[in-house]
């Protein structure tokens, strides 16, 4: 199967999966989501952010948290799943400082250098073309903008065991990286790494946070993969 076809197939599986669980998602993942999003916010230098893009925003819980901390922040949440976006939209209706867009992480319909921060929580492992997504994150970030990825870490035994036996855990594609490999992947896309840290959200869920800072110039971006 060609890689484009495989990507489309993976996207369809994600849309189908989240259509089935969108309504129950917040209830089912409440504690996990609280902890992982709080960790992301701890690493975000919010004072330097006026415009933030949350890729794979799901039901918009990060936006609510950020709103409470900085009401003037301009927020854009994107997700592949229209069902997740619908819930986000109900929670925080679109207005002058909030917008919701259904689009894959690999193709962001925004001008280059339009955001001070791009974040992606609990979703990067689901993205079939991660280099394309990173290239897009770089493209839409302003020079010195922050990128924060929070994702599952397969170096925790519980997560490794889950993945090993995960055939029954949804049909979604998953590509996880060890912390240093995720940091290296981000670095190859023209970011300086400022943090690459494992953490536990619950006794079971082991994750990591990788923070990159987009290099000052426009090197390596917009059309060419590193």
Q: Residue with CB nearest ligand SAM?
A: 58
Report d(CA 67, CA 75) in Å as an integer: 9
In DSSP terms, 197 is beta-bridged to 209
Nearer to ligand SAM, 58 or 145 (CB): 58
Interface residue with ligand SAM among 75, 92, 98, 121 (CB under 6 A) is 121
Residue 88 contacts residue 67 (beta carbons within 8 Å): no
What would the DSSP string read from start to end of 64-111?
HHHHHH-TT-EEEEEES-HHHHHHHHHHS--BTTEEEEE--TT---S-
* 42-50, 53-61, 158-166, 208-216 -> range binding ligand SAM (CB under 6 A): 53-61
Nearer to ligand SAM, 37 or 215 (CB): 37
Q: Using the rule CB under 6 A, is 80 a contact of ligand SAM? A: yes
Q: Using the rule CB under 6 A, is 159 a contact of ligand SAM? A: no
Q: Using the rule CB under 6 A, is 77 a contact of ligand SAM? A: no
Instruction: With both helix axes pointing from N to C terminus, report the angle between 3-28 and 82-91 in degrees, rounded to the nearest 10.
Output: 40
Nearer to ligand SAM, 108 or 215 (CB): 108
Report d(CA 224, CA 139) in Å as an integer: 11
Q: Using the rule CB under 6 A, is 126 a contact of ligand SAM? A: yes
Q: Name the token pair of 223.
A: 């059309």
Q: Name the token pair of 220.
A: 């390596």
Q: Looking at residues 1 to 30 of the shown chain, list those that interact with ligand SAM (rule: CB under 6 A).
A: 11, 14, 18
* 118-126, 136-144, 152-160, 161-169 -> range binding ligand SAM (CB under 6 A): 118-126
Q: Using the rule CB under 6 A, is 57 a contact of ligand SAM? A: yes
How far out from the chain centre does Cα 84 lie?
14
Q: Which residues bind ligand SAM (CB under 6 A)?
A: 11, 14, 18, 33, 37, 56-58, 61, 79-81, 84, 104-105, 121-123, 126-127
């Amino acid at each position: 199967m060609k890689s484009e076809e495989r990507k489309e197939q993976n996207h369809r599986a994600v849309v189908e999966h989240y259509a089935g669980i969108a309504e129950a998602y917040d209830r089912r993942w409440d504690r996990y989501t609280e902890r992982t999003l709080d960790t992301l916010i701890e690493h975000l230098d919010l004072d330097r952010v006026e415009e933030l893009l949350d890729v794979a925003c799901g039901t918009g819980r990060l936006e609510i948290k950020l709103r409470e901390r900085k009401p003037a922040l301009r927020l854009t949440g994107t997700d592949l799943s229209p069902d997740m976006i619908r819930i986000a939209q109900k929670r925080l209706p679109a207005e002058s400082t909030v917008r919701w867009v259904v689009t894959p992480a690999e193709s962001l319909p925004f001008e280059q250098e339009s955001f001070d921060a791009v974040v992606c929580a609990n979703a990067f492992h689901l993205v079939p073309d991660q280099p394309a997504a990173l290239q897009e994150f770089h493209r839409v970030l302003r020079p010195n903008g922050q990128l924060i990825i929070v994702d599952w870490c397969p170096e925790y035994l519980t997560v490794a065991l889950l993945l090993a036996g995960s055939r029954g855990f949804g049909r979604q594609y998953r590509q996880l990286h060890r912390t240093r490999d995720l940091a290296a992947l981000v670095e190859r896309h023209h970011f300086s790494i400022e943090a690459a840290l494992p953490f536990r959200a619950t006794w079971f869920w082991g994750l990591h946070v990788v923070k990159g800072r987009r290099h000052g110039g426009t090197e390596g971006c917009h059309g060419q993969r590193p």
